Amino acid sequence: MIADFIASTWLLWILLSVGGFLYWRGMHSQYFNYVFSRYVLALITLLIVSGIVFTLMEVLPGDCAEKYIAYKNTQGETITQADIAAERARMGLDQPLAVRWASWVTDLTLKGDLGFSCAKRQSVNLALGERFWLSFMFCMAGLIFAYIIAVPFGILSAFTINKDWKDRNPQHTKAERFVNTLGLSFNKLLDLQLRIISYLGLALPNFLLALSIILLYVFAGEPTPTGLFSDEWKSVPWFGDNGFEFGKLQDFLGHIWLPIFVIGWSATALQLQTVRALVVDESNKLYVDAARARGVDGMALWAGYPVRHSISPLFNSVGFDFQRIFNDLPIVAVVIGLTDAAALLIEALAQTNDQELAAGILFLVALVVISMNFITDIVLAAIDPRVRKSVLGN
């Protein structure tokens, strides 16, 4: 009896025990006090998000009862208006919005149940299942792709700032000055190219980029890498008769690069500019001059001072980068023909008006973003001395 009760409300207990642990530690530690307040704030934000999402889904036409009746209609039963009303009363759809929202949130916090998808005739958790993880993986891969390219090249691009003095440093010999000028011109050219690439990333939206790549394949007369697998491998299971199917993996990798590249593209462009601006801003600060005066030079100066201090604001924005990437994913999914949660979201919003499913996906994305923000906040407060000082005071 009690075990059943605890088992059916497992999520609530996890949430409460994490909160309780943080509160207990927070009584003696300033840092955990801060973590606890961030935790409460994240939960409140989640609650507001669920309210916004739930209200928004109300504006979509049609409701669950109508869809259920329509489903029954296809089974050969004739249905009257009274049946719809009765069905609506049975499902509790005649209750006011606030009551239904409360019950949705309660279900969610007690058992992690996202509700029942009316168009799919199964629970949202089941309908989403691994598709959500697929989308999550896409976004993470796009994010990692963006960071791997944007961070080093952004820093490199920022190197070119404030180097003009090398051209005309009277202490250098003519040959040295010539070499300096040559290197500087090369750097400037690189900087210009990177900036053009990043501008293009802003100007060429993801779906156009995907279309252009597909178009190139069409011109070359090769099969376009749309979808996740080509037709021959689609129905083959991962573990066949002769062990693991490496052919399928190869096929998968041959298709997966396109969505990752496409969704990583504009994130890379934006990150490139952000990193460059951050490093340039930091490199103009007094502490860099002070370090230079102490004789720190070259790579040690850059890596130890401006670059190191630019990382934390960058790290802080990971959550919102994830959100931005997921924002682009539905349209890319339509163009490339993916079958992940983003494609499901488009389907739920634009074709089947499946409010529960759409609300579930949006809520999960917001959950991921909020958790990422929470984690980056507490990690930064733990490792960055400046943040730690401002957060913990005195």
Partner 1 sequence: MAIGSVLARFGRKKEAVADDAYYTAGQMALIKARFKRKTTGVVAAWILGSLVFMGFFAGFFSPVDPTISGADKDYRRGAPQIVYFWDQNGFSLRPFTYTYQKEKAKIDLKALAGGGLDALDALTSSGALSSSSQNKFLVDEDKRRYLQFFVKGWEYSLIDLSMAGMDLDIRWDLHLFGVENGQIHLMGTDEDGKDVFSRTLHAVWITISIAIVALVVKLFTSLLVGGVSGYFGGKVDTVMMSITEAVRVIPPIPIYLACAVALAQLDLTSVQRYFAIAVVIGMLDFATLGRRLRTHILTERNQDYVLAAQLCGSSTWRIIWRHLVPSFGSYIIVDTLINFPYVILAETSLSFLGLGLTEPVNSLGVLLQKAQDPDIQQNMIWQFFPVVVFVFLIMAFVFVGDALRDAADPYAEKK
Contact with partner 1 (CB under 8 A) among 18, 40, 56, 89: 56
How many Å apart are CA 134 and CA 260, to the nearest integer?
12
Q: Which residues in 309-328 contact partner 1 (CB under 8 A)?
A: 319-320, 323-324, 326-328
**Crossing angle of helices 318-336 and 355-383, rounded to 10°:** 150
Rounded to a whole number of angstroms, the minimum distance from the CB of residue 41 to partner 1 is: 7
Nearest Cα neighbor of 214 from 337, 343, 339, 336 is: 336
User: How many angstroms separate the CA atoms of 310 and 312, rounded?
Assistant: 6
From candidates 264, 336, 353, 380, binder to partner 1 by CB under 8 A = 353
The CB-of-57 to partner 1 minimum distance in angstroms stands at 7
- Indicate which single residue of 373, 378, 380, 381 sits in contact with partner 1 (rule: CB under 8 A): 373
Tokens of 229: 């697998």
Q: 263 to 282, contacts with partner 1 by CB under 8 A?
A: 280
Supply the DSSP symbol for 165.
G
Q: Give 331 or 387: the residue with its C-beta nearer to partner 1.
A: 331
Helices (H), 27-123: 30-58, 64-74, 81-91, 97-111
Residue 57 in contact with partner 1, rule: CB under 8 A:
yes
Q: Taking Cα atoms as reference points, which of 388, 284, 286, 361 lies closest to residue 120? A: 361
Min dist CB 319 to partner 1, Å, is 7
By CB under 8 A, tell whether 202 contacts partner 1. yes
Contact with partner 1 (CB under 8 A): which of 22, 32, 39, 53? Answer: 53
Instruction: State the minimum distance, in angstroms, from the CB of residue 64 to partner 1.
Output: 16
Q: Minimum distance from CB of 178 to partner 1 (Å)?
A: 21
Q: How far is the CB of 10 from partner 1 (least distance, A)?
A: 25
Q: For the chain, report the end-to-end CA distance as a whole number of angstroms.
A: 51
DSSP 350: I
According to DSSP, the β-strands at 116-117 and 243-244 are unpaired
Which whole-number Å values give the CA distances from 370 to 44, 46, 211, 276, 359, in the listed order?
A: 11, 8, 32, 26, 16
Site residue total, partner 1 (CB under 8 A): 52
**162 interacts with partner 1 by CB under 8 A:** yes
Residue 248 or 259: which CB sits closer to partner 1?
Answer: 259
- Per-residue x/- marks for partner 1, 33-52, CB under 8 A? --------x--xx--xx--x
> Which of 11, 17, 15 has its CA nearest to residue 43?
15
d(CA 283, CA 39): 34
Mapped onto helix, strand or coil, the DSSP state of residue 136 is helix
Q: In the bound complex, what is the minimum distance in angstroms from residue 367's beta carbon to partner 1?
A: 9
223: left (phi over 0), alpha (psi -120 to 50) or beta: beta
Smallest gap, in angstroms, from Cβ of residue 241 to partner 1? 37
Applying CB under 8 A, among 23, 207, 233, 315 the residue interacting with partner 1 is: 207
Tokens of 176: 């040295």
Which residues, 89 to 148, sit near partner 1 by CB under 8 A? none
**Binding residue (CB under 8 A) for partner 1 from 12, 15, 43, 60:** 60
Residues that bind partner 1 (CB under 8 A): 41, 44-45, 48-49, 52-53, 56-57, 59-61, 161-162, 199-200, 202-205, 207-208, 211, 214-215, 218, 280, 284, 319-320, 323-324, 326-328, 330-331, 334-335, 345-346, 349-350, 353, 358, 361-362, 365-366, 369-370, 373
